[in-house]
């Protein structure tokens, strides 16, 4: 991880995490296996096992693409809203790294705080499965959730939304375009711009990091395969033609992050199309803070509070948003 050369001050939690987590150079010599092993080792440092008053169940969503189905965890807290909202969550990792366990603490915490159901998706990763395999899995799971609300602990009136961090936020934004019937979306520092387009100011400001550098973006891009033609807008949501059909959107934005301005640009697109959008800028935060409450108790807590309020606002039937 490169040091931050921006004039913006790092929050003390951001500084502590950069010192504690081992750096990794993303260049042509880095193998996928090594990157995944390092990501797992880092998780042993920042992961927190928390108690959960409720149940976690595993389902395998049928698909012809995966023999055993797409695995998901469903978290159902004991204390639920009437007609509880359901949030389908997609982990980050550039479509190459990460898994359900990386987002487990986040899903448990928010399911409890928002008194809702979280569905944590294990979509297929590149380079074994090139883009759009992971997105296709995510769309399929979301459709399954909409059709199986009662089965997983909700009821027929439960509203369904999507959420995700980083590339998971990118997936959530695409799913919101492609799967009708969603009631809200929560995008946590997503990348929504075109491959190779680094014209936004935050890319120039943080081209060397921290966390996400231009070299890292290129490394991930190389593993996804060619993205062109009809695949481009599915990967880069800023290139979509229409936005009016989208559900209300909450953006959680890290201030010290090369992807910061992606959220601002996308929020402008949604607002211009008449889509309700809210943007929460977390000052002094770096990319990936949302799913690391061990290192970011204050910053993640601030973001979780906003997330919970948004879920209750747009996901509950007793608030007038019917």
Widest distance between CA atoms in the chain: 55
Calculate the CA 311 to chain-centre distance: 15
Residue tagged active-site, from 261, 277, 287, 300: 287
Calculate the CA 283 to chain-centre distance: 19
Q: Is 99 a catalytic residue?
A: no
> Residue 51: which region, alpha, beta or left (left: phi > 0; alpha: psi -120 to 50)?
beta
SS (H, E, C) 142-210: HHHHHHCCCCCCCCCCCCEEEEEECHHHHHHHHHHHHCCCCCEEEEECCCCCCCCCCCCHHHHHCCCCC
C-beta separation of 126 from 96 below 8 A: yes
C-beta separation of 153 from 74 below 8 A: yes
SS (H, E, C) 28-53: CCCCHHHHHHHHHHHHHHHCCCCCCC
Give me the sign of the Cα torsion angle 173, 23, 99, 230.
positive
Q: Could you give the CA distance from residue 91 to residue 99 in angstroms, rounded to a whole number?
A: 6
Residue tagged active-site, from 158, 163, 166, 167: 166
Q: Is 166 a catalytic residue?
A: yes
Give me the sign of the Cα torsion angle 307, 309, 312, 314.
negative
Cα-flanking dihedrals φ and ψ of residue 16, to 5°? Answer: -65, -40
Residue tagged active-site, from 136, 165, 257, 262: 257
Q: Is 136 a catalytic residue?
A: no
Number of H helices, E strands in the chain: 10, 8
**Cα(first)–Cα(last) distance of the chain, in Å?**
45
**Annotated active-site positions, please?**
166, 257, 287
């Amino acid at each position: 991880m490169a040091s931050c050369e921006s004039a913006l001050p790092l929050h003390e939690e951001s500084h502590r995490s950069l010192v504690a987590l081992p750096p990794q150079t993303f260049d042509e010599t880095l193998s996928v296996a090594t990157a995944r092993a390092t990501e797992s080792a880092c998780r042993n440092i920042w992961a927190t096992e928390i108690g959960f008053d409720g149940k976690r169940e595993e389902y395998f969503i049928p698909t012809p693409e995966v023999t055993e189905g797409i695995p998901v965890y469903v978290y159902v807290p004991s204390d639920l809203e009437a007609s509880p909202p359901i949030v389908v969550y997609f982990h980050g990792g550039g479509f190459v790294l990460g898994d359900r366990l990386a987002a487990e603490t986040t899903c448990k915490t928010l399911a409890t705080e928002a008194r809702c159901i979280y569905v944590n998706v294990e979509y297929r990763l590149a380079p074994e499965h090139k883009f759009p395999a992971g997105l296709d899995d995510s769309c399929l799971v979301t459709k399954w959730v909409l059709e199986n609300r009662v089965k997983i602990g909700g009821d027929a009136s439960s509203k369904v939304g999507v959420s995700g961090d980083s590339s998971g936020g990118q997936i959530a934004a695409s799913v919101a375009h492609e799967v009708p019937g969603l009631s809200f979306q929560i995008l946590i520092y997503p990348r929504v711009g075109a491959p190779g387009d680094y014209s936004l100011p935050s890319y120039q400001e943080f081209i060397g990091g921290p966390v996400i550098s231009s070299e890292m973006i290129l490394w991930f891009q190389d593993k996804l395969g060619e993205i062109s033609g009809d695949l481009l807008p599915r990967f880069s949501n800023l290139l979509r033609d229409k936005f009016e059909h989208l559900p209300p959107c909450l953006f959680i934005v890290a201030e010290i992050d090369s992807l910061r301005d992606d959220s601002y640009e996308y929020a402008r697109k949604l607002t211009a199309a008449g889509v309700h959008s809210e943007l929460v800028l977390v000052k002094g935060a770096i990319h990936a803070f949302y799913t690391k409450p061990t290192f970011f108790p204050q910053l993640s807590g601030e973001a979780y509070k906003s997330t919970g309020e948004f879920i209750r606002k747009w996901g509950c039937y007793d608030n007038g948003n019917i």
